[in-house]
Amino acid sequence: MTTATRPDVVDSSAASREQIPPEAGWDLVVVGGGTAGIVGAKTAAQLGARVLLIERERPGGDCLWTGCVPSKALLAAAAAAANARTAGRFGVDVSEVRVDFARVMQHVHGAIAHIAPIDSPEALREAGVEVLTGEAVFTGASTVEVDGQSIAFRQALIATGAAPAVPPIPGLRETAYLTSETIWDLTELPDDLVVLGGGSIGVELGQAFARLGSSVTVVEGLPRIMSREDEYAAALVAAALADDGVRVLTGQPVARVESGAETGGTLVLADDTRVPFGRLVVAVGRSPRTSDLGLESAGVEVGKGGYLTVDDHLRTTNKRIWAAGDLTGHPQFTHTAGVHGSLAASNAVLGLPRTVDLSAIPRVTYTHPEVASVGEPTDPLGDGLRLQEVRHDDLDRAVAEAETAGVSRLAIDAKGRIRGATVVGPRAGESLGELTLAVSKGLRTRDLVGVIHPYPTFNDGPWNAAVADAKRSLTQPVVRAGLRVVVGARRWWVSR
């Protein structure tokens, strides 16, 4: 396998290699240049603090280089191929679909290159953040060392993120497996791809490569894929994967991996099922990058699974050191990392008591159809909640686009407040903003009903679910009796 040429915005100028003056008196030293670190550093600088960001490789983090950006670019290319193949349902004849994988990857890396300057060292310096490239190791409660240089700080923010987890399966380490970080080095489309892991990353990559032309098998040891999501939502995605030719095996963990020639091999499941592969992608979750940071010397406690112990203000067990992003044990999303990075930085440099709110964190799996969720689960429902749903079979926009395999579900409490939501369908993530606001602010279904929505959109699904719930309240005996009195009085007044 050859390695694709990647755009690289690492600043190799002399300025990036200069020694940072030890007497600089940094108000905040940020360790890690991913989303949490960049947002935290910029926030602190905007507040007037002297900020140093230390990044071992290149700013931007997993989201830019190996996560959100490349995966969505790949999914866009895969969607184009799938749409061309199914164009006949609209009366459009596309006689041949040919995928040029090299050009697909050029598109992927082109998207990275287009966005990368936003997170570059130059852009950070323009925002008032000094940048130092190197490996950071804490040497005390208020000092960090970078390549032999000791740097003192008043406050520090650890934002080193997480890396793909590799399970201790016999034989796996001896296999030339790929992860969500290394799959972007492919230059040829795999003929036979097996994805180990049926979570969001696994199903996104599996569907994308199947649509591009690979023969794909997704292996998940749990009874179903997307185990953290609404079961009905996961079933819709499973059906979509099958339509795209993806073979899904669930309920049997991998017992061992047998290496084959070069990059191939065989997964052997617990029931002795053998799953041969040409290429293997391991997508079973992510582990925090907290080792080799000298955290013990800094008095920073590391808890179960390698996650840092933080309080509700994102402060670690060292009162001078804060943490944000994937290494905190909070939901591992870019948007969470960014918001919490800003919160931790402002708490650190201003002494604010702001606390994290985990009650309304949205999440989206960017398969086709997308699965978007926020707040309380819609399956299973919590105590005191009721479910209101609209299936997209009769959703006008879905019918017009022949995309009726979807659903909008709301979890509603006794006061009519929207406590959680799940939406499945094209661009479901675009419908989630309004629902996230509703969950965050305790809005009721009738609050949504009272807002004029554009028609026709896929967002009619959540809105129609809210309308249905509002109509439901009109059927309650007390409400019906009251309405009869009001209507009767009005009738008498108009007719007298």
pLDDT tens digits, 218-231: 999 999 999 999 99
Is residue 283 scored above 90 in pLDDT? yes
What pairs with residue 365 in β-bridges?
A: 371
State the pLDDT confidence band at 94, using cuts at 50, 70 and 90.
Answer: confident
Name the average pLDDT for the chain: 93
Rounded to 10°, the helix 334-350/35-46 angle is: 30
385 touches 419 (CB < 8 A)? yes
Portions of the chain given CATH number 3.50.50.60? 14-59+120-164+287-350, 183-284
8-state DSSP, 13? S
Is residue 18 scored above 60 in pLDDT? no
Over range 118-144, report the average pLDDT. Answer: 97
State the pLDDT confidence band at 253, using cuts at 50, 70 and 90.
Answer: very high
pLDDT tens digits, 165-208: 999 999 999 999 999 999 999 999 999 999 999 999 999 999 99
Determine the Cα–Cα distance for residues 300 and 145; give it in Å rounded to an integer.
Answer: 16
State the pLDDT confidence band at 10, using cuts at 50, 70 and 90.
Answer: very low
Give the sign of the dihedral formed by CA 336, CA 337, CA 341, CA 344. Answer: positive
DSSP, collapsed to helix, strand or coil, labels residue 216 as: strand
Question: Which range has the worst mean pLDDT, 4-13, 172-181, 483-492?
Answer: 4-13
Is residue 12 scored above 70 in pLDDT? no
Fold of 14-59+120-164+287-350: FAD/NAD(P)-binding domain (3.50.50)
Q: What percent of the chain has pLDDT over 90?
A: 87
Cα–Cα distances in Å, from 40 out to 36, 49, 51, 344, 436? Answer: 6, 11, 10, 7, 23
Residue 17 pLDDT: 46
Portions of the chain given CATH number 3.30.390.30? 363-474
Class of domain 363-474: alpha beta
Cα–Cα distances in Å, from 179 out to 141, 253, 282, 387, 389? Answer: 35, 18, 5, 37, 36
363 touches 333 (CB < 8 A)? yes
Determine the Cα–Cα distance for residues 245 and 241; give it in Å rounded to an integer.
Answer: 6
pLDDT tens digits, 386-427: 999 999 998 999 999 999 999 999 999 999 999 999 999 999
Verify cis geometry, omega within 30 degrees of 0, for the bond prior to 168.
no
Q: Give the distance, in angstroms, between the CA of residue 247 and the centroid of all CA atoms in the same chain.
A: 24
Rounded to 10°, the helix 68-85/200-212 angle is: 40
Is residue 89 scored above 70 in pLDDT? yes
State the pLDDT confidence band at 24, using cuts at 50, 70 and 90.
Answer: low
Cα–Cα distances in Å, from 118 out to 43, 60, 121, 201? Answer: 15, 8, 9, 25
Q: Does domain 183-284 have CATH number 3.50.50.60?
A: yes
Which residue shows structure tokens 């000298």? 294
DSSP, collapsed to helix, strand or coil, labels residue 465 as: helix
Determine the Cα–Cα distance for residues 473 and 479; give it in Å rounded to an integer.
Answer: 7
pLDDT tens digits, 290-341: 999 999 999 999 999 999 999 999 999 999 999 999 999 999 999 999 999 9
Which residue shows structure tokens 């991998």? 254
Determine the Cα–Cα distance for residues 99 and 194; give it in Å rounded to an integer.
Answer: 20
Residue 26 pLDDT: 96
Nearest alpha carbon to residue 390 among 422, 419, 417: 422
Give the sign of the dihedral formed by CA 129, CA 130, CA 133, CA 134. Answer: negative
State the pLDDT confidence band at 480, using cuts at 50, 70 and 90.
Answer: confident
